[in-house]
Homo-oligomer: A and B are copies of this chain.
Amino acid sequence: MNGIPNTPLHPYYPLGVAIPGYVAKTLTTQEILAIFTATCLGILIPTWLYIRHIRRDLPSSEVLTALWFVLCGFIHLGLEGYFAFNAHDIASHSTILGELWKEYSFSDSRYLTADSFVVCMETITAVFWGPLSFLCASCIVADHPLRHPLQSIISLGQLYGDVLYYATCAFDAAHLGIEYSRPEPAYFWGYYIFLNAFWIVIPLCLITRSTRETGRAFTALKELSPSKIAK
């Protein structure tokens, strides 16, 4: 369909793809990005102050990891949860979150066409990785023994979902010639590649760290034979 000089009723790709109930967004790109950035900062700054207040001794890398999971919790539950709950008619929504998804969909129209993989992956992300992200953040702050198993599970879930997200899109482009992104580089490279890359790079680092820490814990336990432990 891509490239056919017809006149679509919406600005999304592939040109002419059916988006039932579509209502054009009214907020500008700048307004949407400003709202998104302000919300992220409005979550991160008070959380950072709170963590610093209750755990002054927590290393900066741990604080950053806890902040990452808090932000993930809000994005998974709030943003992706909204999508998952309204996937069937989100193109008709003029709420702030509806506008935000219509802005993002310039880079991937599958969010407006209720693509089965995208809806299922986002639902799992919202239902499981959302609440678990908050739990993991609190485990980090509390230095809880389940922190690394949790961190590993959530991060692998995010990583796998994101790899499949990229892969299915690339497969459709290579196999069927379908492009879901508008051709402007800002949408493809800025929204689709850059924004999602966070959930490739950071989970990979966190899985590696948790695997290493867990390996160390089991090694240390093994080395501490009963004879070395004072009765």
Contacts and interface: CB of A to CB of B under 8 A. Distances in A.
Interface in A140-182: 145-150, 152-153, 156-157, 160-161, 163-164, 167-168, 171-172, 175-176
A201 interface: no
Contacts of A164: 117, 120-121, 124, 164
Nearest to A217: B217
A171 B114 CA distance: 10
B175 A114 contact: yes
Interface stretch (A75-83, A90-98, A187-195, A223-231): A223-231
B230 A120 contact: no
Interface residues of A, number: 46
A215 interface: yes
A224 B227 CA distance: 13
Contacts of A145: 214-219, 222
5 cross-chain pairs, A with B, having the tightest CB-CB distances, nearest first: A145-B218, A120-B167, A149-B211, A117-B117, A116-B171
Interface of A: 88, 114, 116-117, 119-121, 123-124, 145-150, 152-153, 156-157, 160-161, 163-164, 167-168, 171-172, 175-176, 207, 210-211, 214-222, 224, 227-230
14 contacts: A116-B117, A117-B168, A120-B164, A120-B171, A145-B214, A145-B215, A145-B222, A146-B214, A149-B211, A156-B157, A160-B161, A224-B229, A229-B229, A229-B230
